[in-house]
C-alpha cells in the first residue's frame, strides 16, 4: 500500500495521527490526550478532504 494513516505516541505520551505516502511522512496532527481524538482527526480529513479547495499561488 502506497499510503496510510498511522497513530503513534509522541515524547509527551500524546496520540498523533500521521499520513504516510511511499514510506514518507507527509503531515501529522497536533498531539491528543486520547486515541479516539486522533482517530477523529483522521476521519475529519477523510470526510472533508476530498472537497477541499485547491489554491495555486503560482
Q: Identify whether the C-beta of residue 19 lies closer than 8 Å to the C-beta of residue 26.
A: yes
End-to-end, the C-alpha distance of the chain in Å comes to: 32
This prediction's pTM:
0.85
Residue 1 has pLDDT above 90, yes or no: no
Number of Cβ within 10 Å of residue 39's Cβ equals 15
CATH classification code of 3-51: 3.30.160.160
Q: Identify whether the C-beta of residue 46 lies closer than 8 Å to the C-beta of residue 29.
A: no
Residue pLDDT, tens place only, 4-29: 999 999 999 999 999 999 999 999 99
Percent helix, strand and coil across the chain, each rounded to 5?
30, 35, 35
Say what the pLDDT of residue 28 is: 97
Amino acid at each position: 500500500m502506497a499510503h496510510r494513516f498511522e497513530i503513534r505516541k509522541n515524547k509527551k505520551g500524546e496520540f498523533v495521527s500521521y499520513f504516510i505516502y511511499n514510506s514518507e511522512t507527509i503531515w501529522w496532527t497536533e498531539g491528543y490526550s486520547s486515541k479516539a481524538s486522533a482517530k477523529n482527526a483522521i476521519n475529519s480529513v477523510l470526510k472533508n478532504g476530498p472537497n477541499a479547495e485547491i489554491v495555486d499561488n503560482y
